[in-house]
Structure 1
Amino acid sequence: MTYLWLALAFIAAAAVAGVVFAGRGARQGEASKHWKAVGLAFAALAVLTAVFDSVMIGMELFHYDSSHILGLKAGLAPIEDFAYPLAGVVALPGLWMWLTRRRNAGAQSNLKGLVPQAILASRPVSWINTAYPFAAAMLLTTREIDWVLIVGTFYFLIPYNLAMYGINDVFDYESDLKNPRKGGIEGALLKPHLHRPMLWLAAITNVPFLLVLALAGGPAAWISLTVSAFAVAAYSVAGLRFKERPVLDSLTSSTHFVSPAVVGLALAGADVTPGLLILLAAFFLWGMAAHAFGAVQDIEPDRQAGIGSIATVIGARRTVRLAVVLWLVAGLAMLATPWPGPLAAIIAVPYIVNCAPYWTVTDTTAARTNVAWRRFIWLNYGSGFLVTLIFILQWGLTS
């Protein structure tokens, strides 16, 4: 597949979406102003694209296979690079107009507030937790920055989290009403009139990326993308609700964070080795521990709402202890990976130290673990820094 066909696909989809959204969202007399603004925005983005792409290509941060491009360039930037800003400026303003339009004069649209609530629901503080595994897996395998890496990283950074957490907040509304944690850094409390728009927003921001990434890969990528998307939906939607099936809830939640790495490896054509499997297993155990420990703080609101979880079934104390054991096993597993993988074993220590003080927590005091959970969110950034240093070391050893 050449970059040209990919670019044309993006532009065609964006053009259709932009015309439809602008047509439905623009007030009388706004259409001409809208398209003039689109033109000016693209002119500005085109200049920036030409400059910064040329700089990055000149620094040899990435390159294009000449057999996949037309050869027309602005500076060093292939003409195909301009498809993405064009697609963005054609589709996104119309989408914004549609999402924020007024249904009639003087009446507020039922969609007012959707965008900020969608951003809040997507947990921006945690976006990196899904984008980083994908980007790291691809970059360490291919050793180059290409369009698949860029598109995939953006997908797992924002649209993926919008779907994962947005769908969850829609179907968890009843229990979230009883949960004092909702409405801030740990998720939105979505008003009922935003539920259907949120689900539509999740669909239209995810499906195009899934199709593009599927076209970029083979069967392994198709399977991993399918598993990833299914896990996102199955965790929350009515009829499946894996989050209410003890143990399966932790397994599914961990899949949310490990599957982006698996997708990256599949798209990069990575060789499956024992060391890689051990690393993924350790990551999966880490994810299960994180979910289990996070479920402890919600025992009371979950029980009041009739929601089952690994924590509501085995209790706060046992769940905390299970999380400690899972983090310990994950750390020990890293000792069996090729060098410098064993260095990552130390990353399990701060999580265990953060969780261990609640070794004897009870169901009635389970809400107190929220303090440790908030620390956990920021521990992920420290862990990411250490993992990055290990990746840099790995890069240097294999260069």
Structure 2
Amino acid sequence: MSNNLTFYLKVSRPGLWFQTLWVYLLPVVGTQSIYTWPFWIGFIYATFPLNFMIYGWNDMVDYETDRHNPRKNSFLWGAKGTKEQLQGLMTPIIIAQLPFIIFFIWYCGWPMAVVLFCIYLVNITYNLPKYGLRGVPPLELVNILGMLIIVPLCTYLNDFPSLPWQSMVYLGIFCILAQLIGEIMDIEPDRKAGRRTTATVIGNDATKLLVIALVVAEAVILYAVFHAYMLAAYMIFVILWLIFDFVYLNKKMPYSIAQYNLLGFGINAAGYGSILWVWYTQALHQIY
């Protein structure tokens, strides 16, 4: 039993929970929602249950790709399951979802049922074994915008208005960046397995340049739209690091496992640190 629980936790990728938490928390920064129990139920859902469904579903159809991936079998980057383990994943995924489905619909009504349906539809269209968007670049980058459905989940649950459209644009770039960075890290295993992604199609260098361009766009939005100067300054640091990486550090060679793990700890520190900073300053809510 404990081995199963460890496997399930690895499947959910705790090293990437900050992404769903970022999207869940942004609509209610600076509010009193933190003192309400529905907020914390949604918070819990945005950790293990939601990510277990997202990544577990993906792992079931990505067996051939993942078995070539040296990063897997960790709490940072996910499990490397056997065929038998992966074939048995859907039942625990459903069990983990059911209590939250029942509560969300009971507490928020049928609009929440529509939100949940959209979340599951996004995952179905991404993970269809033969025709899933996961293998149809660049549509996998469009599909990842389904992460934004977490915003109405949060606003319905906490009875708050939705975010300004400028904040949604910023979150959309955030989601696409997360997808592209994952594709860069997985480019060699994906090629070995014959999987098509934006990174395998346009190549490592072009994908890194696209990432740099998107980070520049984030920095401009933070500075010009939200006047979030500290966050914009941090993004400038990220841009300089990405340029250094592109020009010198790992232009041709693949990253080592140690570098992957260092990156994982770094993005978690940056992710949770930015959540706390945004909560403190209420950035990404005030338009100038």
Name the TM-score, length of structure 2 as normaliser.
0.84
* Deviation at residue 377 of structure 1 after TM alignment: 4.8
**Aligned residue number for residue 94 of structure 2:** 203
**Aligned residue number for residue 150 of structure 1:** 40
Larger Rg: 1
Q: Is the 8 A contact 2:16 2:77 kept in 1?
A: no
Take 1:234 and 1:354, find their aligned partners in 2: how far apart are those partners?
Answer: 35
* Deviation at residue 347 of structure 1 after TM alignment: 4.0
Q: Which has the higher contact order (CA 8 A, sep 6+)?
A: 2
1:20-39 aligned within 5 A: none
AA aligned opposite 1:357: F
**Aligned residue number for residue 172 of structure 2:** 284
Take 2:241 and 2:191, find their aligned partners in 1: how far apart are those partners?
Answer: 25
Are residues 1:349 and 2:240 paired? no
**Aligned residue number for residue 315 of structure 1:** 203
1:125 to 1, 4, 15: 15
Take 2:36 and 2:12, find their aligned partners in 1: how far apart are those partners?
Answer: 26
AA aligned opposite 2:219: G
* Deviation at residue 330 of structure 1 after TM alignment: 1.7
Relative to structure 1, is the Cα distance of residues 376 and 115 closer, same or farther in structure 2, using a 3 angstrom cutoff? closer
Relative to structure 1, is the Cα distance of residues 364 and 160 closer, same or farther in structure 2, using a 3 angstrom cutoff? same
* Deviation at residue 132 of structure 1 after TM alignment: 4.2
Q: Is the 8 A contact 1:245 1:308 kept in 2?
A: yes
* Deviation at residue 219 of structure 1 after TM alignment: 5.8
Take 1:263 and 1:376, find their aligned partners in 2: how far apart are those partners?
Answer: 27
AA aligned opposite 2:173: L
Q: Is the 8 A contact 1:292 1:319 kept in 2?
A: yes
Are residues 1:328 and 2:216 paired? yes
Q: Give secondary structure in 2 for the equivalent of 1:182.
A: coil
AA aligned opposite 1:353: L
* Deviation at residue 269 of structure 1 after TM alignment: 3.7
1:243 to 134, 138, 163: 134
Q: Is the 8 A contact 2:183 2:199 kept in 1?
A: yes
Take 2:47 and 2:23, find their aligned partners in 1: how far apart are those partners?
Answer: 10
1:338-394 CA deviation, whole Å, 9 max, x = no partner? 56x454333423432342234359x99363287368425523423432342332233
AA aligned opposite 2:175: G
1:194 to 59, 67, 85: 85
1:132-171 aligned within 5 A: 132-138=22-28, 140=30, 143=33, 145-171=35-61
Q: Is the 8 A contact 2:18 2:272 kept in 1?
A: no
AA aligned opposite 2:106: L
Relative to structure 1, is the Cα distance of residues 249 and 136 closer, same or farther in structure 2, using a 3 angstrom cutoff? same
Tell me whether 172-181 or 140-149 shows the greater mean CA deviation.
Answer: 140-149
Take 2:42 and 2:194, find their aligned partners in 1: how far apart are those partners?
Answer: 37
Relative to structure 1, is the Cα distance of residues 350 and 243 closer, same or farther in structure 2, using a 3 angstrom cutoff? farther
* Deviation at residue 329 of structure 1 after TM alignment: 0.7
AA aligned opposite 2:178: A
Take 2:31 and 2:5, find their aligned partners in 1: how far apart are those partners?
Answer: 36
1:55-66 aligned within 5 A: none
AA aligned opposite 1:294: G
Instruction: State, as a whole percentage, how many aligned pairs show the same letter.
Output: 20
CA RMSD of aligned residues (A): 3.1
Q: Give secondary structure in 1 for the equivalent of 2:267.
A: helix
Take 1:351 and 1:253, find their aligned partners in 2: how far apart are those partners?
Answer: 22
Q: Give secondary structure in 2 for the equivalent of 1:235.
A: helix
Q: Give secondary structure in 2 for the equivalent of 1:246.
A: coil
* Deviation at residue 218 of structure 1 after TM alignment: 4.9
1:239-287 CA deviation, whole Å, 9 max, x = no partner? 442211112222333433x3323421233343346xx211121121022
Q: Give secondary structure in 1 for the equivalent of 2:88.
A: helix
AA aligned opposite 1:171: V
* Deviation at residue 146 of structure 1 after TM alignment: 2.1
Q: Is the 8 A contact 2:177 2:211 kept in 1?
A: yes
**Aligned residue number for residue 31 of structure 1:** none
Q: Is the 8 A contact 2:7 2:79 kept in 1?
A: yes
User: Which consecutive unaligned segments of at least 5 residues does structure 1 have?
Assistant: 1-99, 101-111
AA aligned opposite 1:278: Q
**Aligned residue number for residue 120 of structure 2:** 229
Relative to structure 1, is the Cα distance of residues 134 and 390 closer, same or farther in structure 2, using a 3 angstrom cutoff? closer
Relative to structure 1, is the Cα distance of residues 140 and 226 closer, same or farther in structure 2, using a 3 angstrom cutoff? farther
Take 1:161 and 1:293, find their aligned partners in 2: how far apart are those partners?
Answer: 18
Name the TM-score, length of structure 1 as normaliser.
0.62
AA aligned opposite 2:103: V
* Deviation at residue 334 of structure 1 after TM alignment: 2.4
Q: Is the 8 A contact 1:123 1:161 kept in 2?
A: yes
